[in-house]
A = this chain, B = another copy of it.
Amino acid sequence: METALPDLEDGEVLVANRYMSVDPYMRGRMNDGKSYVSPFQIGEPLEGAATGEVLASSCPDVPVGVTVLHHRGWREHAVVSGATVKIVDPALAPESAFLGALGMTGLTAYAGLMYAAKFTDGDIVFVSGAAGAVGSLVGQIAKASGASRVLGSAGSPDKVARILELGFDAGFNYHDGPVVDLLKEVAPQGIDVYFDNVGGEHLEAAISVLNTHGRVAMCGAISQYNATEPSPAPRNLGTVIGKQLTLQGFLVGMYADKAEEFAQKMAGWLADGSITWDETVRDGLENAPAAFIELLRGGNTGKMVVRL
């Protein structure tokens, strides 16, 4: 859809988008109904995080030429209020990293592990969707923070190979058998933390393998997003009582007050090489819908972005 760019009003800036974030949570906004974010409207452009260069500005704080992070992705040019953008320093990391490891994706991984799952030194950590944008960071943050063992599941042999390269101690391809059997094989001493990006069978398997006082950070349920019937799992929720488990659902917004702490730690981990991040880059706005569908099918490794 083409529209004419409006004139800038006072305080607005015109941004040429260069990178757009493609995120699983957008699937929820494509359903009608009450949720934590409003549904996308048919006929209106999608929205999402993006980075780009300021081409014109009527906001003194955001001069022409700077690179900004903002929330009007899914279009080539965006007119946004200067007060809502964040100027980023492309010398610190490649521009797209501000959509990923240094952005909401990274904060989701960090705060989910540290605060939702109350990670402590020595924990055995299991992550599903471990080759994904959030999952691959969770595993590396856990390793960098003193986990005794980090395990991951992913959807292909290539992805499993990749998480082992990233420093996971073990991993499995969840297509290779019942998840609970695969998990028990790599976790003979059980697990203390489960970071759930997947829901369904994975959550049931994790509950069954979690040790006493184990904790689950419930971050996503991508296995369920396209489902038309509710998942019948987990069927073992009663064991949450005897094992005294905590299941914590969370959204990254709960942990906005941890953004500063996160940014400092992540900058350090990226600088000393303890954390690396993967990207799957697709080119062109016209390929963005396909990139989104690919994401839901697990076609990405690491953060999925579209370059314009």
A-to-B contact residues, CB < 8 Å: 28, 35-36, 199, 203, 212, 218-221, 224, 230-232, 234-251, 254
Contacts and interface: CB of A to CB of B under 8 A. Distances in A.
13 contacts: A36-B212, A36-B243, A203-B237, A218-B237, A218-B240, A219-B241, A230-B235, A231-B235, A237-B237, A241-B249, A241-B251, A244-B249, A245-B249
A249 B246 contact: yes
Copies in the complex: 2
Contacts of A239: 249
A242 B28 contact: yes
Given A246-B247, A246-B248, A248-B246, A199 B238 contact: yes
Contacts of A248: 246-247
Question: Among the interface residues A232, A238, A243, which one has the most CB atoms of the partner chain B within 10 A?
Answer: A238
A231 B28 CA distance: 27
Per CB-CB distance, the 9 closest pairs between chain A and chain B, nearest first, are: A230-B235, A240-B249, A247-B247, A232-B232, A36-B242, A221-B238, A241-B249, A245-B249, A218-B241
A164 to B, nearest CB: 28
A238 B224 contact: yes
Nearest to A232: B232
Contact of A230 (B219, B236, B254): B236
Given A218-B241, A231-B238, A240-B247, 13 more contacts: A36-B242, A36-B243, A199-B238, A203-B237, A224-B238, A230-B235, A231-B237, A232-B235, A240-B249, A241-B251, A246-B246, A246-B248, A247-B248
Contact of A251 (B230, B242, B246, B249): B242
Contact of A249 (B218, B232, B243): B243
Question: Among the interface residues A230, A232, A234, A250, which one has the most CB atoms of the partner chain B within 10 A?
Answer: A230
Contacts of A219: 241
